[in-house]
Amino acid sequence: MTTLLADVVATSAEVGATRSRKSKIESLAALLRRLGPDEVAPTVAWLSGELLQGRIGTGWRTLAGVTTGAAEEPGLTVAELDATLGELAAASGAGSVKRRADLLSGLFGAATPDEQRFLRRLLTGELRHGALEGVLTDAVAKAAGVPIAQVRRATMLAGDLPTTARAAIIDGTGALEAFRLQVGRGLKPMLASPADSLEAALDELGEQVSVEYKLDGARIQLHRDGDAVWVFTRSLRDITDSVPELVELGRSLPCRSVVLDGESLAWSDSAPEGGSEPGEVGRPRSFQESMSNASTGAHKPRFFDCLHLDGVDLLDAPLRERLTALGRVAEAHLMPGVIAPGGAAAVNLLAAALDAGHEGVMVKSLDAPYMAGRRGKAWQKVKPAYTLDLVVLAAEWGYGRRTGKLSNIHLGARDPDGGPPIMVGKTFKGMTDALLAWQTDQFSAHALADDGRVAHLPPEFVVEIELDGVQVSRRYPGGVALRFARVQRYRDDKTAADADTIDAVRALLPRNPDQPRNPAADHTEGPA
């Protein structure tokens, strides 16, 4: 079976032309049913705005040099495009620049004008047509005729939708049931929902909960099988080679095989002014430092979940059982917390966490399984300020002491229907000189366009913004604007698909428009 790229482009256009989720799913499923076995995975990746090969070094500057003419009739196939992308990803060393240029010239020369436009958006991360992973997951289930729950679970265990889609559509339910947790292969982490307050979280989840510190660290997943150890980030990037101390720690654990979920945090050497985590000296460093190279040994992991231990998968076990397993294998590296605390104990733990320089606490149901890749109410996070993870849409060139620096950033919330990010505000607050220099360097290198006043950016940069609240606004298309927004950190571990939605921003509007909310009383934030 041979599918033309033109069929994929036409489906992308159909999906982008409708706001109806049902219509998007119908169009996508119709295409998926027609694909051959080797066409499913790359097509699903492309429709997600991704490449199976990952980043292949084809940004706007590279593509600007491609000036070849276009084909008059469609002829480029899905298989041919996938093969060329593979060759581009593999091109390196002497002569690679010319080789890449020749490959791109040949690829674009075989594409029609519509296909060329699709390729440019795909290769630069600008393909936004309303088919986020949730919509595509539903389309895969519909095309395969299998329950959506099976597709979601298989995707969680496989770590990516293209792999799951091929299994579902080509081989059906049996192939999906065959997916198991595989030590050494990252799986999507369970996510938390924001709680209005500690009291609200405890009221909703009841007495049978775990309350633990919420660190401003880097989410890690540590796998061990015999002497082999792997460490993955939140986005499932393999960072094993850059964290030798975590590899050494993994090999020292009293087990044959294990999968642990936790945070890695950098610590300062100075004595704390207001306290510290039990057993630690100094204060926690920033998220940026926790995400940097850990070879200095400054990083200390804190684990809060055990998903597998010595041949037994624990994903479906309640948290209380997973914590028992965690205590057996990583007792010296547990996240500080309390089990089934009374109200006073939970309040004291929150105060201690904040006093030690951490973000707040997590409240988790002891009866809940590990719902990888899902953001449910079984885990709730409590922090003393509003924060949102937003997409940087553009940046303005500064003036005065910021002349020559890209400073004021334009912020967008994710469209839950898959459209482009929706602008909700701007800010230049909270930026250090070092951050300004980093922004200028990175934004200049990735700018889609720059008129000397504003540099417009692809949706590649996610920034955590602290704010005092949200207000109704006619200035921005989402109808809301951020109040007193300031930069906290850039989220290297997140993509635009992980950013907060416009609905999450609107949820921070005052309950009574004439009576602004007090953010200090609500302890609310956006998804982590």
| CA gap 38, 43 in Å, rounded | 9
Q: How far is CA 378 from CA 41, 365, 388, 411, 492, in A?
A: 32, 5, 21, 30, 26
Pairing mode, strands 218-225 and 257-266 = antiparallel
Cβ 100 vs Cβ 112: under 8 Å: no
Burial class (CB in 10 A: 0-12, 13-18, 19+), 24: buried
Q: How many residues does the chain have?
A: 528
Could you tell me the two tokens for 370? 């590990």
Helix pair 133-144, 21-34: axis angle to 10 deg: 50
Q: Of 24, 142, 188, 214, which is the active-site residue?
A: 214
Which string of b and e fits 40-72 if b means at least 16 CB within 10 Å?
bbbbbbbbbbbbbeeebebbbebbeebeeeebe
Closest CA to 252 of 168, 361, 333: 333
For residues 485 and 470, give the distance between their C-alpha atoms in angstroms, rounded to a whole number.
Answer: 9
Neighbouring C-beta atoms of residue 251, cutoff 10 Å? 12
Q: Tokens 């049902």 correspond to what residue?
A: 22
- β-partners of residue 339 are 210
* Rounded-to-integer distance, Cα 275 and Cα 269, Å: 13
164 Cβ neighbours under 8 A, 6+ residues apart: 140, 151, 154, 155, 158, 176, 179
Task: List Cβ neighbours of 467 (8 Å cut-off, separation of 6 or more).
Answer: 386, 387, 388, 482, 483, 484, 485, 486, 508, 519
Tell me how far the alpha carbon of residue 5 is from its chain's centroid: 28
Counting Cβ atoms within 10 Å, is residue 331 exposed (0-12), middle (13-18) or buried (19+)? exposed
Strand partners, 223: 230, 259
Query: Which tokens sit at 289?
Result: 């430092």
CA distance 331 to 324: 10
Amino acid identity of residue 311, one-letter, is G
Contacts of 365 (CB under 8 A, 6+ apart): 205, 206, 208, 209, 319, 378, 379
Instruction: Clarify whether 214 is annotated catalytic.
Output: yes
Give the catalytic positions in this structure: 214
